[in-house]
Amino acid sequence: MGRVITITSGKGGVGKTTSTANLATALTSLGHRVVCIDTDIGLRNLDLIMGLEDHVVYNVVDVIEERATIAQALIRHKTLPDLFLLPASQSRDKSAIDELQMMILCNKLKNDFDFVLIDSPAGIEHGFRVSLAPADQVVIVTTPEVAALRDADRVVGILDRKDQLARCLVINRYREKMVRQGKMLTPSEVLEILSCQLIGIIPEDEEVINAAYDGRLVVQNQRSPAGREFFKTARRLLGEEIPFQKADTPTSLVDRLFGR
Ligand code: ADP
Ligand code: MG
């Protein structure tokens, strides 16, 4: 049986879709069979990031509403034969799928795939709950900024009510220089606010944007710092113990920002 991992954040624009595509690609290149589901209904994005936008015929809502079979709607990645995408619908709204339908869909996919990665929409409303319903594990993505952390903290609060659910954290768009200047939170300060298992610190890297521009993924480029860190993050997701580089500095921004 496969494992369902939901990638979520609360706040938009912090790197959920980027993380989903890169982690899925890394897991595939580590020998696993992976499907990504874009649950950002109405704001389809993952197909673009994966370079598959020209191949979209059916979408996840078509599958749920039985206009297409899973096999018809799945898009195989162009160069990685064990990586698939189930795209979001562009025209429907977020209420087009409910939690039970999503659980049934994922149960079917779990028979065929080692990993089902769900790219969650922003917010903590209906679409978020739907993306969370089938999860065996949750990856929370945040940037080390106060607004993103506050939203991530709300997500953690919601997850606290669902015990059993393993949750881990990816800190994205990390800028070491700003941390050294005391202008950005260190990973341990982030972890003081969000008690999760840290599995990745992804640096700010313009190669992420360059890659997305032409449908490549940064994780396939081992010369890119973000690419290398996404790869390590995927290996930690598989349970490997890979030490973090020393990224913390003794700033105390957290005291000021959160009144501790
Ligand atoms: P979300 O899915 O949470 O809304 P996205 O994955 O779409 O966020 O990312 C938002 C924007 O940030 C995109 O333009 C993406 O290319 C950019 N981005 C994400 N991670 C990084 C990074 N580590 N370095 C530079 N740009 C990034
Ligand atoms: Mg997104």
Helix axes 225-237, 16-29, angle to 10 degrees: 70
Give pLDDT, residue 249: 45
> Quick one: pLDDT at residue 165?
87
Ligand 1 pocket residues where CB is under 6 Å: 9, 12-18, 45, 122, 172-173, 202, 204-205, 208-209, 212, 226
Q: Which CATH superfamily is domain 3-258 in?
A: P-loop containing nucleotide triphosphate hydrolases (3.40.50.300)
Check residue 247 and give its pLDDT: 52
Which residues of the chain, if any, have pLDDT below 70? 246-260
Residue 143: which of 198, 192, 202, 188 has the closest Cα?
202
What is the Rg, in whole angstroms, of the alpha carbon atoms belonging to the chain? 18
The closest-lying atom of ligand 1 relative to the alpha carbon of residue 174 is: 23
DSSP per residue over 166-235, as a string?
A: EEEEEEEEE-HHHHHTT-S--HHHHHHHS-SEEEEEEEP-HHHHHHHHTT--GGG-TTSHHHHHHHHHHH
Spatial separation of the C-alpha atoms in residues 37 and 32, rounded to whole Å: 16
Contacts of 217 (CB under 8 A, 6+ apart): 21, 22, 25, 49, 50, 51, 211, 227
- Whose atoms come closest to the Cα of 13: which ligand? 1
Quick one: which of 23, 29, 3 has its CA closest to 172?
A: 23
Neighbours of ion ligand 2 (CB under 5 A): 16-17, 45
Coil, strand, or helix at residue 35? strand
Cα 188 to ligand 1 centroid, rounded to whole Å? 22
From atom 9 of ligand 1, which residue's Cα is the shortest distance away? 15
3-state secondary structure 105-125: HHHHHHCCCCEEEEECCCCCC
What pLDDT score does 246 carry?
65
Gap between the Cα atoms of 44 and 22, Å rounded: 17
For residue 20, the CA-to-ligand 1 centroid distance in Å is 11
Q: Determine the distance separating the centroid of ligand 1 and the alpha carbon of 111, expressed in angstroms.
A: 31
The answer to whether the beta carbons of residues 146 and 157 sit under 8 Å apart is no
The DSSP symbol for 88 reads: P
**Contact of 227 with 207, CB cutoff 8 Å:** yes
Nearest residue by C-alpha to atom 20 in ligand 1: 15
Position in ligand 1 atom list of the atom nearest CA 19: 6
Residue written as token pair 């739907």: 130
Q: What is the pLDDT of residue 250?
A: 45
- Domains of the chain, residue spans: 3-258
Which of these, 167, 76, 139, lies nearest to 113 by C-alpha position? 76
Query: What pLDDT sits at residue 88?
Result: 95
Cβ pair 201, 229 in contact under 8 A: yes
The pLDDT assigned to 75 comes to 98
Output phi, psi for 86, to 5 deg: -110, 105
Q: Given this model, what pLDDT does residue 245 score? A: 78
| CA 143 to centroid of ligand 1, rounded, Å | 10
The ligand placed nearest to the CA atom of residue 203 is 1
3-state secondary structure of 236: helix
Summarised one tens digit per residue, pLDDT across range 190-206 is 999 998 999 999 999 99
Nearest CA to ligand 1 atom 19: 15
Phi and psi, residue 8, nearest 5°: -140, 175
Atom of ligand 1 nearest to the CA of 226: 23
pTM above 0.85, yes or no: yes
